Amino acid sequence: MKVINSEDLYIITPDTVDVLEDPSISTEDARVDSSVTVVDSTLGEEMVRFVSGSRSRPSEDVSSSYRNHIFYPSGWRGEKEEEILLSDAAQDSILDADGRFIPHKYKLKFSPDIVTAAAGYSAFFGLQGYGQIMISDVLGNHIIFIGTDLYYNFENSNFNLFYYHLPERWDFGGGVFHNVYFFDGGNVRDRNWGASGTVSYPFSRNNRIDFSASLINIDRDRLDRDVVSWDQVDYVSERKMHFLLPSLAYVYDNTLWGWTGPINGSRYRVGVSYSPDFDGEDPAVSRDLWGLDFRTVNFDARKYYHVGLDYSFAFRLSGAASFGTHPQTFFLGGVSNWINRRFEGGYIRDDIEEIYFSGFATPLRGADYYEDYGTRYLLLNNEFRFPLIRQVLFGWPLPFYFSNIRGAVFLDAGAAWSDDFYRFIVDAPGEMAEFDDFHMGYGWGFRVNLGIFLLKWDMAWKNELNSVSSPRYYVSIGADL
């Protein structure tokens, strides 16, 4: 006989039902008194009875040590262990009559992954904030992203709507966007709107090919004021530009990440982009321009060496060259997401081509934004990364705790030029030689992971061949290169 009990509950299999006719149930290991309640539960052709009562311990209690387990001592001999299934399960149970999972066709059902308000800082457009929602299905095959910060009316609001389809080997996505930027103290407004799409195909876990295409529209408006009262009236159109920008890139990445960035492996990217000119008009005079003619080739190669338990070296070489009637411009200097930013010349360039169709070659620490520029550039970065502070705990009144504060020493060197001749130094008669197209900076800094973002602080000096500048300080956010 097979009895499974939990103090006052006994589950007896069908081959023992006839024993219940006896006023008492006894075996060599267990006994059930004559005061029993029997409940029938039928599953298919099998009968299972739930018997409640009281139990008296056998002369040799072999079950006491198993009381809190899901199994029991095998004190019975010659009995077949039966599988017990509930008979009153719903018709749409996940199990069939044999206890196996029933396969069901996958049904697409979305649920929210992110519902939040976010804030960010751009070195060129200042502090920005907006709400965002991201929803996906259970398997993560379909992702929808919505971001917006409605302000006053549609023309002054930002919004982004994108969808990504990821169930197959080919990944693709696309969406629409509308972003507003203000310049000249709010007197100039740019509306950057359009649509973009992307397709990605992985050859393996580490390498893939990416294709993207964007239709970009720039509407520049200037604030019209009453000439007498100087009151603001409204924005009037000053210039419009429309561009089609396809690009193709090959990407390889097998890096291993640490607290603040990659610490081992390699990653590189080689890409090309093209912008056709549809109307052939001069962008300097056209008020409604369709296309700029340029073709650009770019590359970015990085190598990381993990030395010992907590040390690493990082090397990066990047560059680009642009050709065509109106080639892209690349600005050399500064760091990405630079909070206490500085600009060479003291101002932000606001030409449409230089804002939306230029590139920024960073980091070049020791230099400001716009330190140099050209249609070609090369940039070399070298870093040694190490643990600076393992742990630090502050007491009252600011009980902050930080761990794994990383340190770095670095050397950055780069050049930007626009013609076919690169000039390393200039050496005019009677003057000391100095760097021309070439720039170099070195220094040290620390990085700390604050949970919601990575904070970086760097101090760097610029080497001018015959002199060294005073130190410049860089506070920025983002992962190490």
> Quick one: 161 and 285 in the same domain?
no
Does 225 reside within a domain? Answer: no
> Quick one: 48 and 195 in the same domain?
no
Query: To which H or E segment does residue 340 belong?
Result: none
CA angle 182, 452, 342 (to 5 degrees): 40
Of the candidates 72, 88, 104, which is a domain's last residue? Answer: 104
> Quick one: 272 and 238 in the same domain?
no
* pLDDT value at residue 12: 47
Does 213 reside within a domain? Answer: no
Where are any strands of DSSP class E within 309-430?
Answer: 311-323, 330-332, 359-361, 372-374, 376-393, 401-417, 425-426
Does 316 reside within a domain? Answer: yes
Please name the amino acid found at residue 210: D
Residues of the chain short of pLDDT 70, as ranges, are 1-93, 120, 124-129, 152, 225-233, 421-436
Residue entry with tokens 């629409």: 176
> Quick one: 193 and 292 in the same domain?
no
* pLDDT value at residue 125: 60
Buried residues in 451-477 as b, exposed as e (16+ CB within 10 A): eeebbbebebbbbeeeeeeeebebebb
* pLDDT value at residue 322: 96
> Quick one: 461 and 385 in the same domain?
yes
> Quick one: 372 and 242 in the same domain?
no
Q: What is the SS3 assignment for 280?
A: coil
Alpha carbon distance 333, 472 (integer Å): 12
Segment 440-470, tens digit of pLDDT? 999 999 999 888 889 999 999 999 877 899 9
Q: For residue 235, give every residue at least 6 positions away whose Cβ sits within 8 Å of its Cβ, in sequence order, or none.
A: 155, 189, 221, 222, 223, 224
Q: What is the SS3 assignment for 186?
A: helix
Does 215 reside within a domain? Answer: no
Alpha carbon distance 107, 111 (integer Å): 13
Please name the amino acid found at residue 346: G
Task: Give the closest residue to 261 by CA, choosing from 388, 413, 407.
Answer: 407
Of the candidates 251, 280, 304, which is a domain's last residue? Answer: 251
* pLDDT value at residue 433: 56
Segments forming the whole domain that contains residue 320:
254-481
Alpha carbon distance 352, 375 (integer Å): 16
